[in-house]
Every structure is written in structure tokens, then in C-alpha cells.
Chain A
Amino acid sequence: MSMIALRDVTKTYQVSKEVAVTAVRGVSLNVERGEFVIITGRSGSGKTTLLNLAAGLVKPTSGEVRLADVNLWSLSDREQSLLRNQKIGFVFQFPSLLPSLTVLENVALPTMFATNHKNRDAYERAARLLEVVGLSDKLSAYPRQLSAGQQQRVVVARALISQPQVLLADEPTSNLDEQTEQEIMNLFRDIHGQTGITIILVTHTSQLVAYGTRAIAMANGAILDA
């Protein structure tokens, strides 16, 4: 059973009445449990849309998306949100921490949407994860008080708080300098090595494929080689 399975998925955006843009065309992809897949491609190649399709954040125009053998678009909004909350961790390209929350609160935030939410457990787990990413001294800090690299580490910790089965990372190092990029990528590799979590990481930097267990290249909304 694949962790993520996309079957002949196409996504077309209707830009205006006359203009439609196809971001992903007829993509089929199986990602097995424990894989670290790196998807590369130039800007506009459809990588981010593919990632969003895999997460159920975008509804495919045609085709089927399955996560842990569940058809995402057969679920209600509540069921889909819960599935995302419990099975998927996200790392975004842009600064995605909530500025009004402390680092600890940001990391614990996803547990708020879980059905079995307990504050104390969540904060204890968040503190442990921040220790793992080397930020145990920043629990009470606000995102604006952190560097871009530190912020991205917090985002990684947040992505892991619900003990997800899949980690989806959209260009997680694009705003970072080379050294910080390496630190973050090493962090992904360590997490993958220690937990066996399935990771799909999207990047335009082809040098990063070395960190994964499988590389996929995309162009014009299609997979070039799998």
C-alpha cells in the first residue's frame, strides 16, 4: 500500500473566462512508506501544485489522490482537515509562523485542531521537539526575534508535533543562505533516518537530490522521470 498515490491527476486553473493554465497534467505517482522523495524542477513546472494536490489542499480537475489508501476528495472538510492534521506535516517556503504566538505556541498549534487535544501534553512535546531542532532556549521568543534559519527549524518542529506519517516540504531552503540550507537539509535527513517518516521535498536546487532516497524531475506539469 502506497503512502501517497496520485492517479492520472490533472489540475487546471481558470485564470479568466478565456484563459486556463494547466499546472499539473496527467501525473501518476506512488510514494511508499519511508521514502524521501525529492522533486526538482524550474519555477512553474508544477512542483508546488503537485505537493498541494498530495496534501488535499488543491482539488484535482481530474484524477484521484489517495493518502494512506484514503481517497482525499471523498472526505468532508472536517474529515480531510483531521487527516491532514494527523497524517501530514508541512514545511513551507515562506515564513509561516504566526507572529502573534511564541515559538512554543507555534509548534504546539497543530494539536489545537486534533480531536484528543490536551494542552499540557502538547506543550511538553513541543518543548522536546524544539530541543531536537536546537532551539530549546527560544521557547518564549516570538518569530520576529529569530533568524530565517531558526524560524525554519521551528517550522520543522511544528511539522512533527502531530507525529505525522508524511512530511511535505515546499522549497524549505529557498530563502536561506548556503550554510543554513545544509543545516536544514541535514535536519531532514536526520529526522528521516531516526523516524522513518515519508518525506516529499520540492526544490528548484538539483544539488539537494543527494539528500533523498528518490529524485523526481518535473517540467511543464509532468513528471520527466520517476
Chain B
Amino acid sequence: MNLGQFAWSNIKGSAFRSWVVFLCAMIVAGFSLSTVLIIRGAQDSLRLALDRLGADIIVVPEGAETKVESALLMGKPVKVWMPQENLGKIARVPGVAVASPQLYLSSLSNASCCAVSDMFMVAFDPKTDFTVEPWLKHKLGHELRLGEAVGGSYVFTPEGEENIKLYGYFITLKGNLAPTGTGLDQTMFMTFETAQDIARISKTRAEKPLEIPPNSMSAALVKVQPGADTRSVALDIMQQVPGVTPIESPDMFQTFRQQITGLLRGMLVILSITLLLSLVLIGLIFSMAANERRREIGVLRALGATRGFVFQSILAEAALLAVDGGAVGIGLACLATYLFRDLLMRSLGIPFLFPSLPSLVTLVGGGLVVALGGVTLAAFIPAYRVSRQDPALAMRE
């Protein structure tokens, strides 16, 4: 028999105590991992959304900042317009390298002419676009043609169909972008030309026509010249182009960042309380167990066990329960977060992207370390005290 087998036999011998410690470890590890998964998932999602847009500055109509951010992050369709002449003014601002216009459109709600309800649609200008064009060149090897579109990771052609019907217009889906965990995953990207064609066809084939105000755009995506200060370029845009608000990339999605920060704080408070209560409970359980087993430990010492062995055997017991409970808690946390990710996004109002396998492995490792560290820390003092007790006195009690 070795130390691990001895500890395991003690675990089996005290089923109730072992279950309580197991459950505490499970809750601590599971809750810690869920918190990190949600917060990390939201942050990754925001970062990927910004990377996807690829803009240093997004210029939107004054007062439409939150609406546009909601559209991009949560896929809530939005109708905001500003004159297209603003694009020229923006492009002329010193420090601007490229300014590319976008139109934000949406499919109709519950209409037979639209295969998908309330889908967020982004039309771009292939001549200046730097959001979708690089992906198109890399994946398709050519630009989007008339009647073609690419979709976010959740956009599919209906089963048995070859095209997606929008406003009675048949669009061919040429590919899907990688997931971001944001509304961009449910967004369809097409050229201005295709958007105008849909608007034209919709007048005769749709329940309601797609209306695109003439000479308008919804937003302009700006890349600044290398070495230019993004903040001063944004300030210049605000001064030189009336009626618009430039949002710098680091300031983008502020509302969501605040929401995530608030969520993080709330979850950290709950996590700290859970962790503290669990550690106290585990400490108490091990203290009680140590007291109950004083005589047994006295016998072990009489049979030749060193203080170190007694100490290690209690910590090994705690560690085994921590690893087992932690592993189950982590498994449940991963499964629940993965299965209910859409519900999480909707109920918490934040974007969410389940982490990649390497990140997940790191997080799982971290969760196990939290469980192992927490439980062994809680068992440390009782284990130390009982290992130092006088064996003869312990046996007499």
C-alpha cells in the first residue's frame, strides 16, 4: 500500500465527509471556471469583432453610437443613415489612409419573401473595403459578384435550397467567416451593387420593399495612415465633418465593456464568497475528521508513521478529493457554458465566444489548480495540528 492508496481507503471509509469535500471542490472549480469562461469568452469576442472590422475608427451618425455597436455585437438590425458626401470629407481629413462606406440593412420580420427573419445585413464597397475583401481574396480568390454574399458562422442556406431568399431575391452564399461570438456571426455581407439590386427587385417581389435612401451610408470604416495618431485623426473628423461621431477602436463597444466589467465584478464577489465559504467548510470538515481520527492517528504514530506521513496522508486525501471534485466541476462548467452559450448571450446581453481548445486546456488546468490549492490550503492547518499531537494522549482520548 502506498500513500495514495492509504488516502483513498480513508476517503472510502468516510463517505459523507468525502462527498461534502468533493461537492465543495466541484462548486469552487466549476464556478471559477464558469466565471473565467464567460468573462474571457466575452473579451475574446469583443477583440475578434474589432479585428474583424479591422478599422481604427468607425464613423457613425451622431447619436447612433450605441445602436451601431449593438448591431455589430449582438446582431440587432439597425437603420441609421448619413449623407454619402461625408465619405469624401472623412477621406480628406489628414491622417486618414482609407475610408470605406457601409450600409446597415435587415431582412423583414416573419415575411414569406425572406427566408431569415430580422437578419442583419452589411453592404460594403468592394473598391475601398478592408473588412471582408481580404478574407474573400484569401478564401474565394475573387471578389463577390452580383447576387453573391458571405455570411457569419451562423448563416446557412436553408436545407434543400441553393440560395437564400431575401426580399424575394435569391442570394448565393459563397462562404462563412470564422466565428466571433458576436452579432457578426449572424450577419450577411454583400456588395453595394447586390444591396441595390435587392432593393430594386424587392419593389415587385417582397411584401415590403427594401429601402435604401439615395446617396446615403450607415457608417464609414477608417484606417489611419501608419504613424498617425488615431485620437487626433478622430478629433479632426469630428471637427471637420458635422453630424457624425467617430469612435476609436479602443473606445468601441464601451457599453458592452462596462457591462462585462460589471458582470466580472458581480461574479468575482459571488466567487469570492463561494470560495471563502467552501474553504471554511472544508477546513471545519477536516478539523472534525482530524478530531474524530485522533486515536487512529495515534495508533499510526505508534506503528511507526512519522509526523510527515500523517500530515501528507491528510493532504493527499484532500488533494484526491479536490482533483476528483474539481474535474467533475470543470467538466460540468464546460458542458453547461458550451450548451447554454446562446442563452448566456441573450440573458447577460454580452457577446460570447467559447474558447479554443488550447485556451480551454489552460483554463481547465487553472480550474484544477484553484480546486487543488483551495482544498489543500483548507486542510493544511488541521493536518499540521493533528500531525503534531502527542500520540499517547491522542490514543487515550
Which residues of A are in contact with B by a Cβ distance under 8 Å?
A: 48-49, 52, 55, 57-58, 77-78, 81-82, 84-86, 90, 92, 94, 96, 98-101, 105, 108-110, 112-114, 119, 158, 162
Determine whether the beta carbon of B6 is less than 8 Å from that of A112. Answer: yes
Determine whether the beta carbon of A113 is less than 8 Å from that of B1. Answer: no
Determine whether the beta carbon of A110 is less than 8 Å from that of B304. Answer: yes
Q: What is the bound-complex CA distance between A52 and B301, given in angstroms?
A: 12
Most chain A beta-carbon contacts within 10 A, residue among B302, B305, B309, B391? B302
A-B contact pairs, 30 of them (CB 8 A): A57-B298, A57-B301, A57-B302, A57-B392, A57-B395, A58-B392, A77-B307, A81-B304, A81-B306, A84-B302, A84-B303, A84-B304, A85-B303, A90-B299, A90-B302, A92-B395, A94-B295, A98-B9, A98-B13, A98-B296, A100-B9, A100-B13, A105-B1, A109-B1, A112-B2, A113-B303, A113-B306, A113-B309, A158-B303, A162-B304
Rounded to whole Å, the gap between the CB of B67 and the closest CB of chain A is 65
Determine whether the beta carbon of B302 is less than 8 Å from that of A78. Answer: no
B203 interface residue per 8 A CB criterion: no
Q: What is the bound-complex CA distance between A77 and B389, given in angstroms?
A: 13
**Extra contacts besides A98-B13, A100-B13 (6): CB < 8 Å:** A58-B392, A81-B301, A84-B302, A109-B1, A112-B2, A114-B304
Closest 5 CB pairs of A and B: A85-B304, A100-B13, A113-B304, A52-B392, A57-B392
B298, B306, B396: the one within 8 Å of A78 (CB): B306
Rounded to whole Å, the gap between the CB of A94 and the closest CB of chain B is 7
Rounded to whole Å, the gap between the CB of B391 and the closest CB of chain A is 5
Using known A-B contacts A57-B391, A85-B303, A94-B395, determine if residue A112 contacts B296 with beta carbons closer than 8 Å: no
Q: B301-328 toward A: CB 8 Å interface, digit per residue (1/0)?
A: 1111111110000000000000000000
Closest to A82 in B: B304
- B308 cross-chain contacts in A, Cβ below 8 A: 77-78
Rounded to whole Å, the gap between the CB of B314 and the closest CB of chain A is 14
B208 interface residue per 8 A CB criterion: no
Closest to B6 in A: A112
Using known A-B contacts A58-B390, A109-B1, determine if residue A90 contacts B13 with beta carbons closer than 8 Å: no
B10 interface residue per 8 A CB criterion: yes
- A90 cross-chain contacts in B, Cβ below 8 A: 299, 302-303
B205 interface residue per 8 A CB criterion: no
Closest to B10 in A: A100
Closest to B8 in A: A100
B385 interface residue per 8 A CB criterion: no
Rounded to whole Å, the gap between the CB of A56 and the closest CB of chain B is 9
Q: What is the bound-complex CA distance between A105 and B1, given in angstroms?
A: 8
Rounded to whole Å, the gap between the CB of B7 and the closest CB of chain A is 10
Q: What is the bound-complex CA distance between A112 and B305, given in angstroms?
A: 8
Rounded to whole Å, the gap between the CB of A219 and the closest CB of chain B is 20
Q: What is the bound-complex CA distance between A77 and B10, given in angstroms?
A: 24
- B304 cross-chain contacts in A, Cβ below 8 A: 81-82, 84-86, 110, 113-114, 162
Q: What is the bound-complex CA distance between A84 and B309, given in angstroms?
A: 14
- B295 cross-chain contacts in A, Cβ below 8 A: 94, 96
Closest to A52 in B: B392
Rounded to whole Å, the gap between the CB of A144 and the closest CB of chain B is 11
Rounded to whole Å, the gap between the CB of A65 and the closest CB of chain B is 13
Closest to A158 in B: B303
B145 interface residue per 8 A CB criterion: no
B92 interface residue per 8 A CB criterion: no
Closest to B14 in A: A100
B47 interface residue per 8 A CB criterion: no
Determine whether the beta carbon of B13 is less than 8 Å from that of A55. Answer: no
Closest to B13 in A: A100
Most chain B beta-carbon contacts within 10 A, residue among A55, A113, A162? A113
Q: B381-394 toward A: CB 8 Å interface, digit per residue (1/0)?
A: 00000000011100
- B303 cross-chain contacts in A, Cβ below 8 A: 84-85, 90, 109-110, 113, 158
Most chain B beta-carbon contacts within 10 A, residue among A90, A112, A158? A112
